[in-house]
Structure 1
Amino acid sequence: MKVLIISDSHGNIESLKKIKERHQDEVEAMIHCGDSELQVGCEALLDMLVVRGNCDFDSFPNEIIQDIGSLRFFVTHGHLYSVKSTLMKLKYRAIEAGANIVCFGHSHILGAEMVEGILFINPGSISFPRMRKEKTYVILQIDNGQANVDFYDENGELLKHMSTAFQIA
């Protein structure tokens, strides 16, 4: 299973469209973790699970809990969970939701880590990255108990690979 995860595009429709077109035939789902600054129904967001960020003013949901394949995803922007200072609130909500994977943004800082059996992924930003110059997004691939998180720049060049054993509880 492969999932495209993107966040904090802040109105950057062209990069969003290019990334989506590049991967749409290889992924089972596409997730936008908020701050698209676009309207519901915008062509660039079609076929994507989209949540509302602190810079969004349309009626996207604050969070989505969605089963994709045999995994439960919890998607939120992160501003309502203080993700710039801790993942604790986000972890508690993920446990409450029964999530295996948490996708969030807000900090514009890419990262992925396992916390108590839950995989947390922040794809960074394709418009205004922090802590690095490259504008980033993620392709998550899960096969045979292995989670592979690949961070790409906006041109599709692999920047970083993370692999971890992944057990479905």
Structure 2
Amino acid sequence: MASTTFIVMSDSHGDREIVKEIKERYQGKVDAIFHNGDSELPSSDPVWDGIYVVAGNCDYDSGYPNNLVTQLANVRVAQTHGHLYHINFMWDRLDLFAQEAQADICLYGHLHRASAWQEGNIVFINPGSVLQPRGEIREKLYAKVEVTDTSIKVDYYTRDHKLYPQISKEFKR
């Protein structure tokens, strides 16, 4: 059975060290690393080598794309920050973006709230913020996603790389 594993972080807001630390911890051990925007770092920063990164509403460097669609072995990932899809108010536009990309997974950020949910055949994942969490969960988090032919498992980790199992989820494909 084919398996793909990747890391997702978002909303690091100038904290280059946590981006670097997560990259160094996982690079070469997972199939991909994603950052969903609001890094506030230059797009030319070497920390981005080997990371799929998109622009957030606090990224003023025009070198970042607004969206990416990435095919990883057995999974197609659509990625955006979310602000351009008005996710503070509705999910329709984000869902349409994911459908048009023919995505299995849609990654987003912006809300600083860790969550994972499924709509139709698409799993939507917000890794939370590694710097400024909002909402009920006040832990600074990132996500590890494991995809097989039959499931998508989402685990959340704290900045000190400890599993935060309270909000882990698994979805059927």
TM-score (norm 1): 0.94
Partner letter of residue 74 of structure 1? A
Alignment correspondent of 1:43:
46
Structure 2: tracts of 5 or more residues without a match: none
Map 1:1-169 → 2, pairs under 5 A: 1-58=4-61, 59-131=63-135, 132-160=137-165, 161-166=168-173
Partner letter of residue 46 of structure 2? E
Q: Distance in 2 between matches of 1:55 and 1:30?
A: 20
CA deviation map 1:60-108 (0-9, x unaligned):
0000011111221110000000112222110011111111110000000
**For 1:151, what is the secondary structure of its paired residue?**
strand
CA deviation map 1:94-141 (0-9, x unaligned):
111111110000000000011011010000000111122211100000
Give the aligned length: 166
**For 2:96, what is the secondary structure of its paired residue?**
helix
Following superposition, the deviation at residue 7 of structure 1 comes to 0.5
**For 2:164, what is the secondary structure of its paired residue?**
strand
Following superposition, the deviation at residue 53 of structure 1 comes to 0.4
Q: Distance in 2 between matches of 1:23 and 1:151?
A: 14
Structure 1: tracts of 5 or more residues without a match: none
Percent sequence identity is 37
